[in-house]
Amino acid sequence: MDKRIVEFLKSKGVHIEQPWNADEAIKLWANWYAGYVDGFHRYQLYQGEKRIPQERKTLKMAETVCQDWADLLLNEKVEISCSDDTVQERLNMALQRVNFAVQANQLLERSFAVGGGFFIEYWDGTGVNIKYVTQDRMIPITYTSAGLIEAAFTSKQVVDGQEYEYLETHTLNDRGEYVVDNFLLREKNGSLTEMPAAFLQLHNVAAKVETHSSTPRFQSVRPNKANKYASDSPFGVSVFSGAIDVLKAIDNEYDSLDNEFTLGRKRIFVTDGVANIHVNEDGTTSPAFDPLDTAFYRMPEQNDEDGVPIVESNMQLRIAEHEQALQTQLNILGQKCGFGENHYRWQQGTVTTATQVISENSKMFRTLKKHELLLRKSIVDMARSLMEIELAYVDGADLPPDITFTVDFDDSIIEDTAEKKRMALTDYNAELISAQEYYRQVYSLDDQQAQAFAKQMQEERNAEQSWKNVEDEPPME
């Protein structure tokens, strides 16, 4: 949290809450996500005379964990639906315009790494748009146990070749509606200077935006995991925050496995007499072995007559022991990060991920559903905010309050969808469930959508039956 920006906000009369300082933790999580932590991956080893710089190899499993969760939660099979067909079409166009499928997946990956992130909706002058920022760019203003109420966000913006700090505050007015105030701050000599209103107007930056809505223009995206550092903090924690020691163990054993081949490679120790056995025509000697061949190591000539001139050294490699230890740590990592055992497998020199359908009583299923609780609300609120902005700027109208949004997550890894459809069809044929319930179970429709779809199907079946009745009539004589 940049103290200069905090002081600037205070100068504008914005009261800043002082929660747990997450900067150091976020920096640590970001380093593990990147796969390099100074002091661990780069260190010094004392070899009896002096300290030798060393660099530890890494499997970058923190990145893999975050990628796997992002792909499970937000993939191409996730559907965002609206109860109104016209609004649905506009929503689909807006999501495509902002590249939501790609950008949201990437934000989720980064957010699970550093503890959280945000969707921020706005009008960019030509259409609706979304900013995707991580929580290190958020300054909390007010928050409760229910979540973040008001906040400020920072980002970098280049104007006429000059980089500025873009600062926006999202606060509530007396009517309970959100107001967005925008600032451009220029850094000079270590301090931040606010650019005047004329500069913002010249570059199409609205100094103040009245949303006329109680729906926030930002939504939190983070792992559904308790913050053990500060229970009342608006900051989330990394999905691997409780597995740092396991990540260290994995990289230790992976690095040791690589060193096993380096230190255990074949060596042939030869004496000087044998190495120089080749005699040239002028009586001088030259190496009998290629001096660039690292398998040979020259030893001083020994006076001992019993000395062996050539000694072969074949170190025994401990590959099986290393792979077993590495697999043990991968199992622990899977448990600590919510996947359960056997999610990661060390096979043929690489880490593979289990792809089998998981059961509903597994740890991974329970964790997946827990993460979906937070993510579902964020996506629904994002879709509503996006359409409120779209209708307000394009149509000059409000989004009807009775319009609902739903999210259908990808359940193909959790259950056999074909089996689910078969069971629902059996129940429907046995008259145990209605057509509407069948549509709810198989197509994940809400009550309103299922009712409308059932009515539409019934009307189409009646129309088809009337056509058949006409076709079945006998020909006129």
Distance (Å, whole) CA 328 – CA 332: 6
Distance (Å, whole) CA 136 – CA 151: 12
Distances in Å between the alpha carbon of 421 and those of 100, 154, 428, 456? 30, 47, 10, 20
Residue-level pLDDT at 199: 93
Residue-level pLDDT at 280: 63
Residue-level pLDDT at 395: 92
Residue-level pLDDT at 408: 92
Residue-level pLDDT at 273: 56
Alpha helix locations (H) across 149-271?
197-202, 244-263
pLDDT digits (tens, 9 = 90+) for 464-475: 877 766 666 666
Burial 420-443 (b: 16+ CB within 10 A, else e): eeeebeeebeeeebeebbbbbbbe
Distance (Å, whole) CA 344 – CA 3: 41
Which residue is it, tokens 């991956």? 41
R_g of the chain computed on alpha carbons = 32
Residue-level pLDDT at 145: 82
pLDDT digits (tens, 9 = 90+) for 286-343: 665 555 555 555 566 565 555 556 565 556 667 788 888 999 999 999 999 999 888 8
Distances in Å between the alpha carbon of 320 and those of 243, 314, 353, 383, 398? 24, 17, 20, 52, 66
Length reported for the chain:
477
Contacts of 434 (CB under 8 A, 6+ apart): 428, 454
Token pair, residue 19, equals 């929660």
Round to the nearest angstrom and report the end-to-end CA distance of the chain. 90
Residue-level pLDDT at 287: 61
Distances in Å between the alpha carbon of 164 and those of 2, 156, 167? 14, 6, 9
Residue-level pLDDT at 445: 82
Contacts of 304 (CB under 8 A, 6+ apart): none
Residue-level pLDDT at 290: 57
**Burial classification of residue 222, based on how many CB atoms lie within 10 Å of its CB (0-12 exposed, 13-18 middle, 19 or more buried):** buried
Token pair, residue 3, equals 């103290």
- The tens place of each residue's pLDDT in the chain, 477 residues long, gives 788 998 999 999 998 876 678 899 999 999 999 999 988 998 887 766 678 888 899 999 999 999 999 999 999 999 999 999 999 999 999 999 999 999 999 999 999 999 999 999 999 989 999 999 999 999 999 998 888 999 999 998 888 888 999 999 999 999 999 999 999 999 888 889 999 999 999 988 899 999 999 999 999 999 999 999 888 889 999 999 999 999 999 999 998 888 776 665 655 656 655 555 555 667 666 665 555 555 555 566 565 555 556 565 556 667 788 888 999 999 999 999 999 888 898 887 788 887 665 665 578 888 999 999 999 999 999 999 999 999 999 999 999 999 999 999 987 766 556 667 888 889 889 888 998 899 888 887 888 888 888 888 888 888 887 776 666 666 655
Q: Is 266 left (phi over 0), alpha (psi -120 to 50) or beta?
A: beta
Check if the beta carbon of residue 261 is closer than 8 Å to that of residue 337: no
What residues are paired with 278 via a beta bridge?
286
Residue-level pLDDT at 189: 83
